[in-house]
Amino acid sequence: MPLANLDVLVSEVERQSIIALDSAQQTLPGSHHNAEKSIVIERQDHSYYLDLKGWCQTFGRADETDWGNVVIPEKFQSYLWKLLAFSNSSSPVIDPKYQQTRCRNIKDIRAKDNNLKNIQTEDIWQAAGLRSWATCPVSSVVIIQGTSQTIRCLEAFSYEISLKLVEMFPTIWMLSEPSSREFVAAYDETELLRQLAIQALQQITYFKASLFIEILCLFKNCKSSHDWFHILKTIFQALPKVYVIVDLNILGARNSRANNWPDDFQTLISQLSSNCSSNFYGRRPENDHLKYTQLQFDVLSVLMSTDIRVDNQPGCNSNAVLGAKRTCHNPILGAPNRSNSASNRSGLENSCDGRERHDKTPHRNDITVAVICALPLEANAVLAVFNNHWDIQSFGNLETDKNAYSLGRIGCHNVVLVHMPGMGRAAAATVAASCRTSFPSIRVALIVGICGAIPFHNLSTEILLGDVIISDRLVVYDFGRQFPDKFVRKDDMHDSARKPPEEIQNFLSKMKVPMHHNRLQDSTGSYLKTLVESKLAPYPGAKEDRLFQPSYRHQHQKASECFQCASTEPFNGVVCDTARTSTCNPLGCDPTRLVVRRRHSQIINNFNTWLPLIHFGAYASGDTVMKSGEHRDQIAEREQVIAFEMEGAGVWEILPCVIIKGVCDYADSHKNKQWQNYAAVTAAACLKAFLEVWPISRGDSNSGLN
């Protein structure tokens, strides 16, 4: 990132800091934009700006090559969107929740008015075309048009659909209610787009510094609706999914100025990549009978009922017209229940994104993904990312199958979780063979759990504890011949350096492209945040991520404590059993022998927020637990691997396989179990993000689940 761009950020922080400081020293003039419904720059905390400015100036002295992966510290995350929002204009920011509150109050008042009791939205919810939009796996724009007699009905529908969507998906909206119309009337129509962009910014879980400054420059130079659509595209690219609800009646008599916006949204969506799902629902009043139009685009993405990312799905009508009265049997679009508030929140539950409850259990031939875990803590993390669970008793095991399974759905994929009896190649091969027999439609087996990593690969790339490693090759490093002087790995027609099948190779090649790689990391980070907040596994902290020099052994450091350890020579001496089972602190491992790492130091010094990175590379698989820094580095150099694990070699020969494991140690003598739970959770978060983009099979789309 050019240093000049950093100067733009520092300058903007300084400008807003002065405004906030001046405002703090004087009484704010009265305004109809009260604190409840809007946010203004004058009410922002001056100390926040000082802290952010200090971070900018400190980090500005760091190596510029680090900017690509720098995540702005979490303590600033909740304020960053405000800095962007007020960089373009000092006008207030509408609180979208206040809009919903106002709409709810208006709805309650109308319900008590006999003249307004007939405002119902069931016909819209039951419209066949709306159902088609909801279940079609491509991004789309829905425009609902109506007469002046239907305005109130459509306003109510916009409010209702915003309530349903926001419970499950990133959703932004501009609803038509008196205070919103009054606010927008004071500005031109582009203010509506500005408000949408600001809401979208708040959906970004982690802000990378490079993205933040890019958006800041766009905000400062924005002058037209075309510029705002470009900003929306940039923000949407940082989001795996977003829904946009716009009631154009908010513009009042000026709504004609937004006539081209549906086309602009169509252009925006068509430019987004296949991994970004941006769905736009807009409605505008017209001098016409009540009618609905659906537009769809050639982008592989997600609608409210699916995470499918394939083209030309069956049942998707590109020219669907909404409006016909039709009972909607799909609970995805169930109208709000007027009499049962408990069910009012579940109208969109049956989405393929996951918060659904499917009544019909699939056939075993519909199971297309196997997830294999060697340890209970690994399986526990995977179960936490299941979107729904099925009773295994309804399946039953085949007579020869002794495996233990859990069944469910992750995203759009029917998944079987295989619980291994223990670690190692033989156990993995046994459970994989039985799984293949019981579930013949398995397309990919994902070995998910924890691993030990080589701390540096490609000479300079750092791997930290909690990062995730996805396999693109497997080396059975303990398969070979032991001669008196050395071990020689066997190379023949059954070469132990194995590549995955072509389908998996092609998919991994796509995911290594920086754009897809970054989105996979961002989705993983988002899911990880949810898992950590659920108390599944706490983050141990960067200070607990300690890497010792490869030759520095984990042993008693003082002769007075253990004569056996004190006499140890490299590769020759013996470490006592007590040292093997102890952590570093009681043994007195010397902190001056720790390896200094750039990315790790940035996190320790609060220059960067810890966020798991995803690395693609070769795994070394074997029945030996690697606990030696010297041997680790020797094997890594010889075999060009970046991680060690123990189950891949057993599964690789039986099922198409990808290994997804979180780093819990550095495969050296200092390894311990402190990071295991957290590493298992990062792997599970990556598994969910991985399956979001893994192509769906016919078995998934045709199963009874749908």
pLDDT surpassing 70 at residue 1: no
Please list, residue by residue across 626-647, b when 16 or more beta carbons sit within 10 angstroms of its beta carbon and e when fewer do.
bbbbebbbebbeebbbbbbbbb
Amino acid in the structure at residue 311: D
Do 648 and 655 form a contact (C-beta atoms < 8 A)?
Answer: no
Radius of gyration in angstroms for the set of CA atoms belonging to the chain, rounded to a whole number: 28
Q: What is the pLDDT of residue 311?
A: 34
Min mean pLDDT across 1-10, 496-505, 533-542 is at 1-10
Q: What is the pLDDT of residue 563?
A: 63
- 145 and 72 within one domain: no
Q: What is the pLDDT of residue 164?
A: 83
pLDDT surpassing 80 at residue 500: yes
- 304 and 213 within one domain: yes
Give the CA distances from residue 587 to residues 491, 567, 575, in Å, rounded to whole numbers and listed in that order: 41, 15, 12
Confidence of residue 145 (pLDDT cuts 50, 70, 90): low
Confidence of residue 613 (pLDDT cuts 50, 70, 90): very high
Structure tokens at 684: 């599970």
In a domain, 378, yes or no: yes
Amino acid in the structure at residue 627: K
- 139 and 172 within one domain: yes
The phi, psi pair for 365, rounded to 5°, reads -75, -10
The mean pLDDT of 371-390, rounded to a whole number, is 94
The phi, psi pair for 175, rounded to 5°, reads -95, 155
The mean pLDDT of 227-251, rounded to a whole number, is 85
- 73 and 205 within one domain: no
In a domain, 163, yes or no: yes
In a domain, 212, yes or no: yes
- 119 and 81 within one domain: no
Q: What is the pLDDT of residues 244-277, one digit of tens each?
A: 888 878 887 777 777 778 778 777 777 775 444 4
- 288 and 204 within one domain: yes
Q: Which domain holds residue 334?
A: 94-343
Q: What is the pLDDT of residue 146?
A: 62
Do 416 and 390 form a contact (C-beta atoms < 8 A)?
Answer: no
Rounded Cα gap, residues 543 and 541, in angstroms: 5
Q: What is the pLDDT of residue 129?
A: 65
In a domain, 238, yes or no: yes
The closest alpha carbon to 428, from 413, 449, 399, 452, belongs to: 449
Q: What is the pLDDT of residues 126-143, one digit of tens each?
A: 776 666 666 555 566 666
Rounded Cα gap, residues 587 and 376, in angstroms: 29
- Return the percentage of the chain with pLDDT > 90, whole number: 26
Min mean pLDDT across 367-376, 601-610, 660-669 is at 601-610
Select from 91, 106, 125 the last residue of a domain.
Answer: 91
Q: What is the pLDDT of residue 303?
A: 28
More confidently predicted of 106 and 286: 106
- 124 and 61 within one domain: no
- 193 and 307 within one domain: yes
Q: What is the pLDDT of residue 461?
A: 86
Q: What is the pLDDT of residues 445-476, one digit of tens each?
A: 999 999 999 999 876 789 999 999 999 999 98
CA dihedral (666, 672, 676, 678) in degrees, to 10, reads -80
More confidently predicted of 570 and 456: 456
CATH number at residue 476: 3.40.50.1580
Question: Residue 61 contacts by C-beta under 8 Å, 6 or more apart in sequence?
Answer: none
Do 621 and 476 form a contact (C-beta atoms < 8 A)?
Answer: yes
Do 286 and 149 form a contact (C-beta atoms < 8 A)?
Answer: no
Q: How many domains does the chain have?
A: 4
- 99 and 33 within one domain: no
The closest alpha carbon to 642, from 505, 464, 446, 447, belongs to: 464
Q: Measured at the alpha carbon of residue 474, what is the angle toward residues 469 and 479, in degrees to the nearest 5?
A: 135
Structure tokens at 187: 């500005």
Select from 589, 604, 638 the last residue of a domain.
Answer: 589
In a domain, 456, yes or no: yes
pLDDT surpassing 60 at residue 506: yes
Displacement of CA 242 from its chain's centroid (Å): 12
Confidence of residue 411 (pLDDT cuts 50, 70, 90): confident
More confidently predicted of 658 and 544: 658
Residue 141 DSSP SS3: strand
The closest alpha carbon to 496, from 311, 650, 349, 330, belongs to: 650
Select from 572, 589, 606 the last residue of a domain.
Answer: 589
Rounded Cα gap, residues 692 and 46, in angstroms: 41
In a domain, 74, yes or no: yes
Q: Using DSSP bridges, classify how beta strands 404-410 and 388-390 pair: parallel, antiparallel or unpaired.
A: antiparallel
- 228 and 126 within one domain: yes
The closest alpha carbon to 324, from 185, 60, 535, 125, belongs to: 125
Q: How many CB atoms lie within 10 A of CB 342?
A: 7
Confidence of residue 691 (pLDDT cuts 50, 70, 90): very high
pTM listed for this prediction = 0.68
- 450 and 437 within one domain: yes
Rounded Cα gap, residues 207 and 452, in angstroms: 29
- 50 and 125 within one domain: no
More confidently predicted of 185 and 417: 417
- Return the percentage of the chain with pLDDT > 70, whole number: 69
Q: What is the pLDDT of residue 324?
A: 25
In a domain, 349, yes or no: no
Rounded Cα gap, residues 40 and 20, in angstroms: 10
More confidently predicted of 265 and 515: 515
In a domain, 10, yes or no: yes
Confidence of residue 65 (pLDDT cuts 50, 70, 90): very low
